[in-house]
Amino acid sequence: MLIALASVKGSPGVTTFALALAASWPADVRRVVVECDPAGGDLAQRFGLATSPGLLSLAAAARQPVDPDVVWNHTQPLPGSIQVIPGPPGGQQARAALSTLTSPTSPLYGTARQPAVAMFADCGRLDPGSPAEGVIRHADVLLLISGTYSDELAHLATRVHELGHTAARACLVLAGHGHPTHAVERELRIPVMARIPDDPSAAARYTGRAATGRRRPGGLIRVANVVAQALSNGSPRGPSQPIPDFVQQVPGVPAQPTAASGVRLLPPPALHNGHPQTSASGKDVRS
């Protein structure tokens, strides 16, 4: 199974949540986090990993036809039985590697289709024309992570439906402080799968920094567990099986009509004095 994680604005914690999600995945599944961020990777610097093996060495091997199992020769271990393929810190090198590894014959896709394998592709920020869009097209699900302040939501509103057409299944995950979840759903007309709290203590283990403060119950780890359970309930799946309705399986998110793009849409806004209430327009979201 291939799970892509990305944002469209800022740094809402995509890498941190990719690691937390992999750590929360069922232990009987082989898990690997791949840094597919065109701006360059962070994992090597966070955890003191070597620059090789990693994305560059895998891209070099993949210039010729290879067996998908070659992917495991280019991983490095992190605690919790997670394997990672760290990306180079430089954007130029990262984009060059991705130009090879996002082709239709990429060994990444073959590995992700193997039984009892979960691959988490950290695609960073998805600017238009990002080389990581090839990963999005092949992913079983895209977790689109966004902050909830007005500037972040304005960028999200301009691209969310486009990315919904690109991905087989797009799910919106909010992060941190900002506008209320129900207000974001109302404005964008897309239900939220989960909301990642601001949880520095729990996040510290995935950033290579010392933990500070006390871990709050119901924080980052709890949300990662909920999302992992929802997604892993649909894995493994055979080629003839439909992609399950992940969003319905998350408590608190009601079933809604699904567009052909795979982005789930809320019903039209209620009328107020004969006129629709505020729609997604780039204005501030009101609670």
pLDDT (tens digit per residue) in 250-272: 333 333 443 333 344 344 333 33
Q: Which CATH superfamily is domain 2-267 in?
A: P-loop containing nucleotide triphosphate hydrolases (3.40.50.300)
pLDDT value at position 211? Answer: 52
Low-confidence ranges of the chain (pLDDT < 50): 217-218, 235-287
CA distances from 73 to 25, 30, 61, 148 (A): 22, 14, 10, 39
pLDDT value at position 212? Answer: 54
pLDDT value at position 109? Answer: 95
pLDDT value at position 213? Answer: 54
Backbone φ and ψ of 249, nearest 5°: -80, -5
User: Which H, E and C letters describe 123-138, residue by residue?
Assistant: EEECCCCCCCHHHHHH
Short-list 188, 199, 214, 34, CA closest to 108: 34
> CB 243: neighbour CB atoms within 10 A?
13
